[in-house]
Amino acid sequence: MINKPLLCFFIVCLFLSDRALSQTVTDDSTMQKIAVGHLVSTYNSSIGQMSRLYNGPEYEFYDPYIKSNAFFLDINAFRPGSVNYDGIFYPNIAMMYDLNKDKVVVLLYNGFSKYSLLNSRVQSFDLLAHHFVYVAPDSLNKAASIDTGFYDEVYRGNLQVLTRWSKSIQSISTQTTLETFFTAASKNYFLKKGNNYYSISGQSSFLKILKDKKKELQQYIKANKIKFRDNPELAMRMIAAEYDQLVR
């Protein structure tokens, strides 16, 4: 159970910081978020193993003989991030994202032990300037096959553009050796319109879903010299934002 005095102290601090900040910087929500984030971080450190964040199975690193690594952007080290877990926001958390297992890996409060968060309890997390959301599509959705898991949220408005990152383990055998390695990260794109998810293979499939404004979007793409193949995420973000403007 959480230490009640600490919890009360934490709540009072949040209340006082909110009152003080609202009186002095009512037009600057950024400072308030920083102050609240600091209090949350301090609170999590103070309650140690009692924090609800520390709830998941132990994580074991892969066999060192496997070449390359399983992690997001090939960064095989813990980096500061934030996570919304069980509806609670935790800033300044040392984490990694395993693309092969689709797991968020976090250091235990002792700064040594590693564990993976329970996916279904992670609403979202931020790492290395990317915002990931947990998607569990309705089983009745027939528009496209989209797996349950974490997706890099490229754009969110009336439309939602998502990128699914993944890696896998492959092996190549010769007469004398067996080489095992992680593949380079692959990416698959999805567009959510209404309650449906659609798989995106290119610009034509993207515009097909937005056919009610296809002509206007084609003009926008030409005018802004958007090259879908060069940077799909940027192209989809720009086109989706323009679509949302057109349908307002």
Q: How far apart, in whole angstroms, are the C-alpha atoms of residue 160 and residue 94?
A: 28
Q: What is the residue range of 244's domain?
A: 201-248
Q: Which tens digit of pLDDT belongs to each residue from 15-34?
A: 444 444 444 444 566 566 55
- Yes or no: say if 146 and 137 are a contact pair by the CB < 8 Å rule: yes
Residues 6+ apart with CB under 8 A from 203: 221, 228, 229, 235
Q: Is residue 180 part of a domain?
A: no
Domain-located, residue 115 = no
Tell me how crowded residue 13 is: count the other CB atoms within 10 A of its CB.
17
Write the DSSP string, 52-100: TT--S-B--PPPTTSBS-SBGGG--S-EEEEEEETTEEEEEEEEEEETT
Q: Is 86 a member of any domain?
A: no
Model pLDDT for residues 144-154, shown as the tens digit of each residue: 578 999 999 99
**Residue 143 · residue 82 · CB < 8 Å:** no
Residue-averaged pLDDT of the chain: 84
Q: Is residue 10 included in any domain, yes or no?
A: yes
Residue whose C-alpha is closest to residue 145's, from 197, 192, 207: 197
Domain tally, the chain: 2
Domain C-terminal end among 50, 67, 83: 50
- Give the 3-state secondary structure of residue 149: strand
pLDDT by residue (tens digit) across 91-106? 999 999 999 999 999 9
pLDDT in tens, 164-191: 999 999 999 877 888 999 999 999 999 9
What are the strands of the beta sheet with 149-156, ordered from one edge?
114-116, 103-107, 88-98, 79-85, 122-127, 130-135, 149-156, 159-166, 186-193, 196-200
Bridge partners of 196?
Answer: 193
Confirm whether 15 is domain-assigned: yes
Task: Answer yes or no: is 41 within a domain.
Answer: yes
Contact between 241 and 155 under an 8 Å Cβ cutoff? The reply is yes
Q: How sure is the predictor about 137, in pLDDT bands with cuts at 50, 70 and 90?
A: confident
Where is the domain boundary, 50, 69, 86? 50
Q: For residue range 182-236, what is the model confidence (pLDDT) as tens digits? A: 999 999 999 999 989 999 999 999 999 999 999 999 999 999 999 999 999 999 9
Residue 205 covered by a domain? yes
Tokens representing residue 19 in the block: 């009152």
Handedness of CA 35, 40, 41, 46 (dihedral sign): positive
CA distance 56 to 93: 15
Query: Please, what's the largest Cα pairwise distance for the chain?
Result: 74
